[in-house]
Amino acid sequence: MTDIKSLTLPELEAFAAERGMPKYRAKQIAEWLKKGVQDFDEMSNLPANVREQLKTSCYISVANIEKKLVSRYDKTVKYLFSFADGECVESVVMSYRHGLSICISTQVGCKMGCTFCATGKSGFSRNLTASEILAQIEAAQRDLNERISNVVLMGMGEPLDNFDNVMRFISLVTDENGLNIGARHITLSTCGIVPKINELAERRLQINLAVSLHATNDEIRSKTMPIAKAYPMDTLLAACKNYFDKTGRRVTFEYAMISGVNDSDENARELGQRLRRLNCHVNLIPVNTVEGTGYKKSNLERQQSFINILAGCGITATVRRTLGSDINASCGQLRRNHQYQGG
């Protein structure tokens, strides 16, 4: 069975041609898919025999809303979506002045095992297909009845560990026949799989790259992020420079501040030195509590001190606003085994 929603328009045209359909059928089908139809029978301008033909050869991938939680503090909405095989992921919609932004998942679970992350703790089940990544946006948009204008690949999973499907997703979501979200409105966050960052740079997409750094040297980094053992920070920073050189897009470094682990003035100075020559921005995230980690957030004094020291090195740093904290919708709090309370 063909996963029809994962096909690009040229592929859909080829698919239609192979089945003896006129070329315009592909566009008609694409129009319906974009509207989020879940059944071929809803494609009312297609002849019955074409719908039958489609039903026997393909399926429409959907994300079903299993649970929906709305934050009492802000308008953040967290969804638990299920797919055809029963696997579940979480997605979070945040409301900003410039519109709605969605944080979507790329894998069920994650193999990377970062010690501060709830997703990392829950293990890995499988990659999401391009259509399953896309379906999260369509389902949220349909439910909220409002256009989503920004996409961040920062939910569950490591996007560069599911490279081909994520690249296919990006080409589908940016297509003007699809959701038509501009590449500059898409941010991909990675824990730092160096060869894949370089491969991404070669594609010369205009997407934003965010790199989860969370440390100032390999010794500290390898305590919380196993990936640091495979790719030392020097090679990671070189890949980030390469990304900027190839795409002209400024890289963002994410830095979860953990009290007593990576938040001293000395840490800030070392970070400032290492990032000094890169065209970058630092996003400080007071680490979110995840059961069983024992990590604590850095206090406001530490956060301000970091900002000042980095500013002294010519690096802009901001503290990320926490949204949806009452519904466990913040960074690193998404997991696949769900104990939803209230709502």
127 binds ligand SF4 (CB under 6 A): no
C-alpha dihedral over 58, 63, 65, 71, to 10 degrees? -170
**Nearer residue to ligand SF4 within complex by CB, 110 or 130:** 110
Task: Give, for 50, the enclosing helix (H) or strand (E).
Answer: helix 48-57
Interface with ligand SF4 by CB under 6 A: which range of 110-118, 165-173, 235-243, 268-276? 110-118
Interface with ligand SAH by CB under 6 A: which range of 2-10, 81-89, 183-191, 305-313? 183-191
**Nearer residue to ligand SF4 within complex by CB, 157 or 178:** 157
**From 90, 132, 138, 254, the catalytic residue:** 90
Interface with ligand SAH by CB under 6 A: which range of 11-19, 130-138, 287-295, 335-343? 287-295
Between β-strands 251-257 and 280-286, what pairing exists: parallel, antiparallel or unpaired? parallel
212 binds ligand SAH (CB under 6 A): yes
191 binds ligand SF4 (CB under 6 A): yes
Residues 88-117 that bind ligand SAH (CB under 6 A): 116-117
Interface with ligand SAH by CB under 6 A: which range of 57-65, 187-195, 233-241, 245-253? 187-195
Long-range contacts of 228-232 (CB under 8 A, 24+ apart): 228/192, 231/192, 231/193, 231/194
Helices marked H in 107-179 — which ranges?
Answer: 118-121, 130-144, 163-174
331 binds ligand SAH (CB under 6 A): yes
Nearest approach, Cβ of residue 183 and ligand SAH (Å): 18
Do 136 and 91 form a contact (C-beta atoms < 8 A)?
Answer: yes
216 binds ligand SAH (CB under 6 A): no
Give, in order, the Cα–Cα distances in Å from 278 to each of 152, 170, 243, 244. Answer: 22, 26, 11, 9
Between β-strands 208-212 and 64-70, what pairing exists: parallel, antiparallel or unpaired? unpaired
CA-wise closest residue to 71 among 333, 341, 330, 326: 326
Instruction: Read off the amino acid at residue 337.
Output: N
Catalytic-residue membership of 331: yes
285 binds ligand SAH (CB under 6 A): yes
215 binds ligand SF4 (CB under 6 A): no
Instruction: Using CB atoms within 10 Å of the CB of residue 167, give its burial: 0 to 12 exposed, 13 to 18 middle, 19+ buried.
Output: middle
Nearest approach, Cβ of residue 110 and ligand SAH (Å): 6
197 binds ligand SAH (CB under 6 A): no
Nearest approach, Cβ of residue 303 and ligand SF4 (Å): 20
CA-wise closest residue to 229 among 244, 209, 243, 215: 215
Catalytic-residue membership of 219: no
Euclidean distance between CA atoms 221 and 218, whole angstroms: 5
Report the interface residues with ligand SF4, using CB under 6 A: 110, 112-114, 117, 119-120, 157-158, 191, 212
Which residues form the catalytic set?
90, 331
Report the interface residues with ligand SAH, using CB under 6 A: 116-117, 154, 158, 189-191, 212, 214, 254, 256, 285, 287-288, 290, 331-332
